Amino acid sequence: MPALTDVRHAASAEAQVAALRRLKNELVGQGKRKETLVCDGGIDVVVDILSSSEDDDARLQATLIIATIANGGPAFVTPLLAANAPQVLLDSLAHDTPSKRVTASLQALRNIAAAWRASQQSPQQEIHTRLDLFTRHSIEVFHDLLRQSPPCSARMQHLRLITDLITLSVISDTKKAALSQSPLFEILTALLVSHTVISGLVTWQAEGVQLPPPPQASSVSHIISAICTIVEGSAYRTHRFFLSSTVRALFIGQSWNNTDERHLFSARQGFANTGEPLLPVLHIPAYGTTTYHYGSRAFPAMAALQSKHAKRGNSHYVTFDENLAPGGDMDHANAVCSWLLLLARSAAGHGRLVALRLLALVNNSVDAMDSSDAIVGGHRTEYTQKNRERKKQIAVLGVPLAAKMVQIANESKMAEGSSSAQHADDVLVKEQACDVLALLIRDFDELQIAAVDAGAIKHVCPLLKKTFDPVPLAKPMWSARTAGTGKPADLPLTRQLGSRGLPSEILHAMRCRQSALQALAALAEKEDIHRKAIVEAGVVPCIFDALKPFPSDYAETLAKNRGQVVGPKDGNTTAVLLAACRAAKTMSRSVSLLRTSLIDAGIAKPVFQLLHHTDPEVQLAATDVCINLLLEFSPMREDLIAEGVVKTLADHARRSEPALRVSSLWALKHLVSSSPKEIKVKTIEELGTGWLVGVIRGEHLQQRGHGEVAGGGVSVAGLSTPNAAGEQVDLLNPSSTGMDVDDPDDDQGYDEEEEVVNDDEDGEVMYDELSSTHYQASQLRSTIQQAPSAFNSKRYLSSVREIEQNPSLRARQDDVAVQEQALDFIRNLLNGEDCAGMFDYLLQHIGSAKIFELLTEKLVRVIDAGSSTSARPVYGPSALIISTVNILTHIANALPRHKQLLIAQKPLLQAWLPHFSHPDRKVRVACVWAINSLTWIDDDSDRRDARARAQELRSCGIETAVRQLIGDGDLDVKERAKTAVRQFEQL
């Protein structure tokens, strides 16, 4: 290129600037010339000028050239990164840089980030390069830019560009965490607050808190979108956002009379702080008059009774800090949600979507913390009421808005004639509307119903179908020469074009598809009616098609014949695969669909293939689908076994990722339930008995050096809560479906009705994300000496972080989940016709001493009374105890000699005894069931032995314990205990 030669050989600074300017004008809008420039080594030249030239004009022109090169797309990312362009640009943002060049540098960085982002979605793995724009130093620079520069149009542009940089380039959790701790995050939050104040939504009454000058109205959506990017994926970071000092000051600054008037912002008052309510006022009946009310504030002692019914089970042992309102400051959280709703209602297009997204994130994080402290106290009712008000408000005002956005996305024509600005907004709405809806309603059945009422299924399904329409690719510019394909490989990286990645049209279709599938997964999560409606809309084949990955050389094939129409079924990006797996998972929770439309669609085969996908996340998602597909009533089970699913799952189970391990064991657990003996034996051989024993003992955890049992430090906090962890898993544990229930011969069938609090009528919720397994952090909290007066946001934040991020706590949680699945695996192994045979198999391969030692281990106390921080003896998580006792039941159900073997285990019986008075009713029920089986008389020959067994139980105190349970408050326990006592007496 002549202009490039001129730049290289410029005689004077002026000549160089002129040549650079000419080069720039030649490049803008000319993709082909940009390619030539790269191959000619132009990037090195330009970056060199940028980093070493003295002349300000030359550097400005060089910056602009980099900006326009980056607009060329993903192919230019590799050479630009190889030339270290981002770092050079960041360095040029120093204090004394003229504002114009700062703008240009930010612009160039933004363009690079955009191209990089597009390259990340390519099916090829090798081009997934790292882009690190937010280092400790650069965050400071960005912060200075936003803080210092005077409020003029340049500053506004800087703000927009920096927020875009965050949205585009921040993906990893560590970066997000670093940003959330930075002053940059604070200033973004403050700008949003400032905007709210200037638009008159809230009167600012906090004295002493300085707000930055308000941003332009058009920047608000950029700011919110950057905040969303930072907080997404962590309840702690979200809490950091809405508990930040400026957001708190927005609602709490009543300086003249010091009264808390935040209830004015709530759903019932409709954001009425400036007089007229700004949101529709909702009438939500108080809990006090409904059956949900289990206690009364006038009788705090009743709280103990309520706890039995609390969402996550009991909390008798839990000593909690009265001063710490459960779940944080609910008034504030509600005010924040109302505020975000208001922002969403006052914006349009993409701006509205991002506000809704932030609303969803805040609501989800408040809820996550709510369920992780199922701590109940005198404030419980008021607290629950406020929680309910918030959800109601979102159901009535937020979800329909999101559904409306989906409708707009579905109906928008994207006319070619519309201006490019409008077009860009339409594209974003189309890509994100479904995703926002999904985020809003996931995990909340109430909101899912609201979404369907607002017509969500009607609009999501056509949107999904449309993404399978053939995509006409934009034709490349015509050129007289055909592009030279053979490029020498020995050129430096800065002179080689990277992979083109997928064309933007396909990426757009992929993003739409992914977001529509997310919405389907969320809609189908709880309600069977929704699933049926989705099937009727005819999108099941779409889910099937979305389970197919791109061939790895897809981008190249496309590049060869650009200008063609791309077929709809060529494949999918990883993000789409994940979303499709999620949709398949929730859809397959319906037994009837599993047997009809899902089998018709042939969903099993692609899912099985995805088990072998290279991406571990996809493997996990596919395993999660398998959990449902491998149930005993699933028609796909045989096919999957024939394909060799046993071996794959066993391999996955032995891998180190805890989530994959849990899911694989879970799937195997379903697989062995009521299956023929050969399959059971094959599975356990595949897993290896030694390995299984190791997992149950938690050896894997100790190897990694996390949380020594009964050791000091925080792991005690995790352990010392008797019902720590496993509660949530337990909640959706399919013991009502996957385990014993369908076996007519098994007299141990559980009553389903009370089994699962949150279950469907047909009880088919089988798995839920383990992402929010919960610990009761009571010990954690009691170490925090709370000032008795007001809510302390700092301390609350730190406890939120502990719950979410403490590594040993998390390792414990993961381990408990794995152990539970492993124990349940054994339980299902023993269940059914060949119970005795299977137990013999285990005896033979593990050895009876070892088996009982293992079971005893799970039942004994972890910490002895008085020996540690806790005053009471502390046992393992109740989920593990339940699983263990259930295994005992099955052993007791095998042959008489097995019963005898069990009764001979003195230490086991000793360890078992305290659990008859376990606070969790599910543990007590399981215990009594086991006794029922132990005292059962098989035939006449067994009568003598049975009497001996009863004698043994009496002597170790178990009979007395059972007799005491006749007076148990829980009906199920009571009735089982009656049976047991009758059997004792018949002997």
The least distance separating another protein from the CB of residue 47, rounded to whole angstroms, comes to 16
> By C-beta, is 218 or 557 nearer to another protein?
218
- For the CB of residue 642, give the shortest distance to another protein in the complex, in Å: 51
Query: Could you say whether residue 629 binds another protein (CB under 8 A)?
Result: no
Query: How many Å apart are CA 946 and CA 941, to the nearest integer?
Result: 9
Distance, CA of 543 to CA of 581 (rounded, Å): 8
CA angle 616, 618, 620 (to 5 degrees): 70
Q: Does 477 bind another protein (CB under 8 A)?
A: yes
- Identify any residues that bridge with 863 across adjacent strands, giving them in sequence order: 874
Q: Which is nearer to another protein, 26 or 329 (CB)?
A: 26
Q: Which stretch binds another protein (CB under 8 A): 65-73, 294-302, 582-590, 677-685?
A: 65-73
Provide the minimum distance between the beta carbon of 482 and another protein in the complex, in angstroms, as a whole number: 13
Whole-number Å distance between alpha carbons of 880 and 864: 18
In the bound complex, what is the minimum distance in angstroms from residue 90's beta carbon to another protein? 19
Tell me if 68 contacts another protein by CB under 8 A: yes
Q: Does 24 bind another protein (CB under 8 A)?
A: yes
Closest C-alpha to 334, from 246, 395, 394: 394
Nearer to another protein, 216 or 319 (CB): 216
Q: How far is the CB of 418 from another protein (least distance, A)?
A: 11
State in Å, rounded, how far the first CA of the chain is from the last one.
102
Task: Say if residues 938 and 896 touch (Cβ distance below 8 Å).
Answer: yes
> Considering the rule CB under 8 A, would residue 500 count as an interface residue with another protein?
no
Q: Determine the 3-state secondary structure of 572 from DSSP.
A: strand
Q: Is residue 194 near another protein by the rule CB under 8 A?
A: no
Write down the least CB distance from residue 757 to another protein, Å: 49
Q: Name residue, tokens 């529709």.
A: 280
Beta carbons of 861 and 917 less than 8 angstroms apart:
no
What residue spans of 412-527 are helical by DSSP H? 420-441, 445-453, 456-466, 504-523
Q: What's the min distance (Å) between Cβ of 634 and another protein?
A: 50
- CA-to-CA distance for 122 and 550, rounded, in angstroms? 9
And the tokens for 967? 């007076």
- 302 lies in the site for another protein, by CB under 8 A: no
4 or 335: CB nearest another protein: 4
User: How many CB atoms lie under 10 A from the CB of residue 987?
Assistant: 14
360 to 389, contacts with another protein by CB under 8 A? none
| Contact pattern from residue 257 through residue 296 relative to another protein, giving x for each residue in contact according to CB under 8 A and a dash for the rest | ----------------------------------------
| Contacts of range 699-706, beta carbons closer than 8 Å, 24 or more positions apart | 700/815, 700/818, 701/811, 701/812, 701/815, 704/811, 706/807, 706/808, 706/811, 706/812
Options 243-251, 418-426, 602-610, 721-729: segment touching another protein (CB under 8 A):
418-426
| Cα distance between residue 601 and residue 590, in whole Å | 15
The residue within the footprint of another protein, chosen from 28, 790, 904, 948 (CB under 8 A), is 28
Q: Shortest distance, CB of residue 153 to another protein, whole angstroms?
A: 5
Binding residue (CB under 8 A) for another protein from 17, 39, 58, 71: 71
Q: Give whichever of 417 and 705 is closer to another protein, judged by the CB atom.
A: 417
| Cβ-based neighbour number of residue 794 at 10 Å | 8
Task: Kindly state whether residue 64 participates in binding another protein, applying the rule CB under 8 A.
Answer: yes
Question: Is 784 one of the binding residues for another protein (CB under 8 A)?
Answer: no
Kindly calculate the radius of gyration of the chain based on its CA atoms and give it in whole angstroms.
31
CB of residue 424 to another protein, shortest distance in Å: 8
Name residue 8's amino acid.
R
Binding flag, residue 587, another protein (CB under 8 A) = no
Position 470 contacts another protein (CB under 8 A): no
Write the CB contacts of 299 (distance below 8 Å, at least 6 apart in sequence). none
The footprint of another protein on this chain (CB under 8 A) covers a number of residues equal to: 35
**Among 26-34, 359-367, 404-412, 839-847, the segment contacting another protein (CB under 8 A):** 26-34
Could you give the string, one character per residue 124-163, with x where binding to another protein holds by CB under 8 A and - elsewhere?
---------------------------xxxx-xx--x---
Q: Minimum CB separation from another protein for residue 481, in Å?
A: 11
* Residue among 280, 476, 551, 847 that touches another protein (CB under 8 A): 476
Cβ-in-10-Å burial (0-12, 13-18, 19+) of 301 comes to exposed
* Contact indicator for 579, 522 with CB cutoff of 8 Å: no
Buried b (16+ CB within 10 A) or exposed e, 158-168: bbbbbbbbbbb
Q: Is 420 in the site for another protein (CB under 8 A)?
A: yes
- Closest CA relative to residue 171, chosen from 134, 124, 217: 134
Using the rule CB under 8 A, which residue among 3, 47, 67, 894 binds another protein? 67
Closest CA to 824 of 763, 917, 731, 740: 740
From residue 388 to residue 417, the character string flagging contacts with another protein as x (rule: CB under 8 A) and all else as - is ----------------------------x-
1 near another protein, rule: CB under 8 A = no
State which residue, 116 or 775, has the beta carbon closest to another protein. Answer: 116
- Contact stretch for another protein (CB under 8 A) within 37-45, 61-69, 276-284, 943-951: 61-69
For another protein, the binding residue among 29, 538, 644, 711 (CB under 8 A) is 29
Q: Which residue has the tokens 């859809």?
A: 587
Q: In whole angstroms, how close is the CB of 503 to another protein at the nearest point?
A: 13
Under the criterion CB under 8 A, does residue 256 sit at the interface with another protein? no
State the nearest-atom distance from the C-beta of 578 to another protein, in Å. Answer: 30
Beta pairing partners, 471: 566
Measured distance CA(663)–CA(293) in Å, rounded = 36
Q: Quote the least distance from Cβ 419 to another protein, whole Å.
A: 7
Binding mask 813-852 for another protein (x = CB under 8 A): ----------------------------------------
State both tokens at 608.
Answer: 């099985």
- SS3 string, 784-850, reads CCCCCCCCCHHHHHHHHHHHHHCHHHHHHHHHHHHHHHHHHHHHHHHCCCCHHHHHHHHHHHHCHHH
Using the minimum distance from each CB to another protein, give the nearer residue, 505 or 751: 505
Cβ 421 to another protein, closest distance in Å? 5
Q: Establish how many alpha carbons lie within 13 A of residue 561's alpha carbon, considering only the half-sphere containing its beta carbon.
A: 7
Please report, as residue ranges, which positions from 72 to 131 form the binding site for another protein (by CB under 8 A).
104, 107, 111
* DSSP for 138-166, written as a single string: HHHHHHHHHHHS-SSHHHHHHHHHHHHHH
Task: Tell whether residue 25 is a contact of another protein (CB under 8 A).
Answer: yes
Nearer Cβ to another protein, position 30 or 205? 30
Rule CB under 8 A: which of 330-359 touch another protein?
none
Of the pair 161, 594, the CB lying nearest another protein is at: 161
Which residues, other chains included, contact 753 with Cβ-Cβ below 8 Å and sequence gap of 6+? Answer: none
Ranges within 448-467 binding another protein (CB under 8 A): none
The whole-angstrom separation of Cα 331 and Cα 262 is: 6
Specify the residue, 36 or 157, whose C-beta has the smaller distance to another protein.
Answer: 157
Interaction of residue 210 with another protein, rule CB under 8 A: no
Tokens of 100: 């114009």
Task: Pull the structure tokens for residue 326.
Answer: 């459960």
d(CA 891, CA 839): 7
DSSP state of 660: H
With respect to another protein, which residue has the nearer C-beta, 76 or 383? 76
Q: What residues make contact with another protein under the rule CB under 8 A?
A: 21, 24-25, 27-29, 32, 64-65, 67-68, 71, 104, 107, 111, 151-154, 156-157, 160, 216, 218-219, 416, 419-421, 474-479
